Structure 1
Amino acid sequence: MADTTVKVDSATRDRFAAVAASRGQSVRAYLAELAIEEENQVKLGRATAAFREVTRAPGIAEAFDREFGGLPAASSASRAA
């Protein structure tokens, strides 16, 4: 894949560089990983919303609980809600 340039202010560049360095990564590798993580969060948010929508139908939540033993306890560390 071809390289490109993204213009950000120097403070933002320095923040990205510091985070990348603390993880032992290059800025390029860190930003690539960050993009994947953010895409996954968007997908998880959509899936969560879809799940919540379908479980509002009468009897669906009860059927899910019978089949799968209910939902796991909510994690306070979860970003997708």
Structure 2
Amino acid sequence: MADTTVKIDTETRDRFAAVAAAHGKSVRAYLADLAVEQENQLALGRATAAFREAVGRPGIAEQFDREFGGLPSTTTARRAA
């Protein structure tokens, strides 16, 4: 992968360096991990929105209950001793 330069102010650079060091990483590694994490969060947000839209359709919950027996009863949960 080729290197590139990103211009940021020194205060922001220092803040990234401090956070990266706290995680035991270089700034390069920290920013790479941060980019992946943010991409995953965006994908999770899209998936959550799609799920909410799907389960909000009329009859979906009832169909789920018919096909899969519904959610487990909370009164049958076992308690730890």
Which residue of the partner structure matches residue 69 of structure 1? 71
TM-score for the superposition, normalised by structure 1: 0.77
How far does residue 65 in structure 1 lie from its aligned partner after superposition? 5.2
Which residue of the partner structure matches residue 75 of structure 1? none
2:14 is equivalent to residue 14 of structure 1: yes
Which segments of 5 or more consecutive residues in structure 2 lack a partner in the other structure? 73-81
Moved over 6 A (4+): none
Q: Identity across aligned pairs (percent)?
A: 71
Q: How does 1:1-81 map to 2 (within 5 A)?
A: 1-64=1-64, 67=68, 69=71
How far does residue 60 in structure 1 lie from its aligned partner after superposition? 1.1
Q: State the number of aligned residues.
A: 70
TM-score for the superposition, normalised by structure 2: 0.77
Tell me the amino acid that sits aligned with residue 59 of structure 1.
G
How far does residue 13 in structure 1 lie from its aligned partner after superposition? 0.4
Q: Which has the higher contact order (CA 8 A, sep 6+)?
A: 1
How far does residue 62 in structure 1 lie from its aligned partner after superposition? 3.4
Name the Cα RMSD after superposition: 1.8
